Structure 1
Amino acid sequence: MKNTHRTLVSLSARAVRPLVAAIACAGALSATAPAFAADFDGARIEMTMPFKEGGGTDTWGRFYAPLISEQLPGQPVVVVKNIPGGGSTSGANQFQLRAKPDGRDIFASSGSTMFPYVLGDKRVKYEYKDWTAVLASPTGGVVYISSDLGVKNVAELVKLKDADLKYASQGATSLDLITLLSFEVLGLDVKAVFGMKGRGEARLAFERGEVNIDDQTTSGFIKKVQPLVDEGKAVPLFSWGVLGKDGKIQRDPTFPDLPHFVEAYEMVHGSAPSSERFRAWKSFFVAGYAAQKGLFLPKGTPDDVVQAYQEAASKAVAVPGFKEKAQDVLGDYDQAVGEEARMMFAEAVSMDDEAKGWVINWLNTKYSAGLQSEE
């Protein structure tokens, strides 16, 4: 019996040694690797799209969905779920209420979703400051006038002081708010003609001579307005510009010879803008152009999941041939990922109280917008 006991003890000791070594090895690995690295193998990712199929944001989301899928750990399927309604607030409200913070739910945002939030629209039940941005896509635009007005560039805007200026708009609180605000900041007296169904319809009104000042996004300007410029029928004044990493507005790389909006202001007024109306304009500019579309994760998403998405977005835009593939959807603009995207959205939705109070009062007074005052 004694020999048998010694044999069992000896066997047990030999069996324990590799187990101890394995535990020690695991402990050493845990010091250098995350304990719960994100992995979406076999998962189904749902991208909430607060617009109907076929629109600009839907096209953007469906462009990015397979690219993000390819770069996420486990290469999960990314499915776009369209929830239109309420000017995109319905889908955003549902995401706020139902999205789980496990990386299986993501949200595709647009300036049309940010504007109601910034303006305190009563339909808004979502909180951008709860969400984490992982990707932002900018776009650009140009303001131009009819050559019949006799102005050759933005430096001659003073000639339009007494001109009868008309602008075709979709609505005062639509994305056209940026343009209407720019006229106000510049000191231009422009009459808004509402009822347009889109900027394409507004451009047609310009071509028919029904209005004489207009703006188009980069793609629309290049394809439809540049021919009018070449024919001597339209004169470009300025671009909106792009937001630099330092938070300052810079010239649009697509229109390097055109002054951006801040430069245009300085040319007209002789100094940089700093009023509450300019601060309001800049917030809407960031929301509507500099960070027009974005990808968000819900409140409470773990750091490892956020990091996985951030790395996936970074890898997606760095894939050889990405810019050529993205040309028709994204244009030539650099995509903002991670902290840069978060900085942009933070500025877009953090308008100071003075600027917010001013713009709400201005919209209510000038355009009968019916917005609720903060007071």
Structure 2
Amino acid sequence: PKLIELVLLGCLCAHTPVIAQPATEFFAGRTVTILVGSGAGGTTDISARSIGQHLGRHIPGNPTVVVVNMPGGGSVTMTNHLYRSAPKDGTTLGYSLPGVVTAQLLEPRRARYDGREINWIGSALKYTGVVSVLSSAPATTLEEAKKTEVFIGTTGRGSPAHQFPAIVQALLDLRFRLITGYQSSSDVVLAMERGEVHGQSSSLQYWAISRPDWLTDGRVSHLLYVGPPDPLATPGVPYLGDLVTDPEDRALVDFIEISSRLGWPLFAPPGVPRARVEVLRQAFARLLEDPEFEADFEATVKGRLNPTTGADLTVFVQRALDTQDSTLEAAKTILSID
């Protein structure tokens, strides 16, 4: 009977396997959104937009790539959103400030994500962190800063821009007075121009973008650095790791360097199919080999590509999140974090 035939046909259809769309075809005709965990104009935003401009042509299917700013909490706001609320299909990615992993370590109640579960796509740039002061500051060397008070402007207490000078001050017994509450590194520079503070902690890339003339005319100098060295930009500048010998102090230096060695990472939320994550990682790897991207990136970011693959980032983050409790407690004490 016709009814039985229809029932049997329905049963056969119900058990026919659905052929999954290959990951290499998934992105065709779609839009990939990169959420940037900062406001407009800084290194994070500028580097994200350079990546966004060129990444689409390296993803199979050549999707449209758009960049959207979602500032707040040193990229914690964006990462919380990506981790908990964004689509888990590979069409929404995050691009954060370098402090996104240390935020999880120091303030897990605020940073409601787990870096072990995030799908790390890659990082185009690690950074050299510096504490810099005006040449007119009352102290322009570390030895002078042990005797004379220096006002250092910072953003929030959760940012590397605050954590670095705070821990340096404790390790080297410097007379830094940290002035918090500025909204950005650019605001701190304006405060330096007004005479409110003498210096700040930032990256070499920041100075090259925001005030290159200050570097060339000697208006600003670097007291010390952490992270990957830049021989062309830091000749004679002491490295913090060379100034400490105690193993516990060295562990704090390693903690500070989590951010600088992570750099500015691109990542996808948990739950994205593994094959799509690999497609994105391979696209990012091809991007790094693209001469047009390299020229644009280095012209706008004012720094040479210094990349890390997604696989290496995954290993690095896992090790960083295994930082010993004693080191974290020491850092929290210095930073006045409960």
Give the TM-score normalised by the residue count of structure 1. Answer: 0.71
Match of 1:359 in 2: 331
- On the 8 A contact 2:122/2:267 being kept in 1, the answer is yes
- On the 8 A contact 1:283/1:349 being kept in 2, the answer is no
Match of 1:305 in 2: 276
Match of 2:8 in 1: none
Name the CA shift for 1:65/1:187 in 2 (closer, same or farther; >3 Å): same
- On the 8 A contact 1:283/1:347 being kept in 2, the answer is no
Aligned with 2:126 (options 138, 146, 166):
138
Name the CA shift for 1:343/1:256 in 2 (closer, same or farther; >3 Å): farther
Query: Is the partner of 1:332 in helix, strand or coil?
Result: coil
Q: Which runs of 5+ in 1 are unaligned?
A: 1-34, 243-250, 365-370
Query: How much does 1:131 deviate?
Result: 0.7
Q: Supply the AA of the counterpart residue of 2:62.
A: Q
Aligned mates of 1:66, 1:173 — CA distance in 2: 30
Query: How much does 1:167 deviate?
Result: 1.4
Query: Is the partner of 1:171 in helix, strand or coil?
Result: coil
Q: Supply the AA of the counterpart residue of 1:88.
A: S
- On the 8 A contact 1:183/1:189 being kept in 2, the answer is yes
- On the 8 A contact 2:138/2:149 being kept in 1, the answer is no
Aligned with 1:345 (options 291, 304, 317):
317
Aligned mates of 1:279, 1:254 — CA distance in 2: 27
- On the 8 A contact 2:167/2:334 being kept in 1, the answer is no
Query: How much does 1:112 deviate?
Result: 4.7
Match of 1:67 in 2: 54
Match of 1:214 in 2: 200
Match of 2:247 in 1: 274
Structure 1 residue 319 and structure 2 residue 304: aligned?
no
Q: Supply the AA of the counterpart residue of 2:126.
A: P
Aligned with 2:76 (options 66, 89, 95):
89
Query: How much does 1:333 deviate?
Result: 3.5
Deviations along 1:236-280, one digit per CA (max 9) or x if unpaired, are 3333231xxxxxxxx224425234523551xxx5x4x531x5424
Query: How much does 1:315 deviate?
Result: 0.7
Structure 1 residue 158 and structure 2 residue 158: aligned?
no
Deviations along 1:283-319, one digit per CA (max 9) or x if unpaired, are 34322x2223111122233332222111101111101
Query: Is the partner of 2:24 in helix, strand or coil?
Result: coil
Aligned with 1:200 (options 186, 190, 194):
186
Query: Is the partner of 2:152 in helix, strand or coil?
Result: strand
Query: Is the partner of 1:128 in helix, strand or coil?
Result: coil
- On the 8 A contact 1:138/1:334 being kept in 2, the answer is yes
Query: How much does 1:332 deviate?
Result: 1.3
Structure 1 residue 126 and structure 2 residue 142: aligned?
no
Q: Which runs of 5+ in 2 are unaligned?
A: 1-20
Once structures 1 and 2 are overlaid, which stretch shifts more, 66-75 or 232-241? 232-241
Aligned with 2:304 (options 332, 355, 359):
332
Structure 1 residue 258 and structure 2 residue 236: aligned?
yes
Aligned mates of 2:197, 2:213 — CA distance in 1: 18
Aligned mates of 1:207, 1:50 — CA distance in 2: 27
Aligned mates of 1:115, 1:58 — CA distance in 2: 20
Name the CA shift for 1:227/1:87 in 2 (closer, same or farther; >3 Å): closer
Aligned mates of 1:233, 1:54 — CA distance in 2: 23
Query: Is the partner of 1:129 in helix, strand or coil?
Result: coil
Structure 1 residue 295 and structure 2 residue 281: aligned?
no
Once structures 1 and 2 are overlaid, which stretch shifts more, 56-65 or 316-325? 56-65
Aligned mates of 1:199, 1:303 — CA distance in 2: 37
Aligned mates of 2:325, 2:156 — CA distance in 1: 23
Give the TM-score normalised by the residue count of structure 2. Answer: 0.78
Query: How much does 1:97 deviate?
Result: 2.0
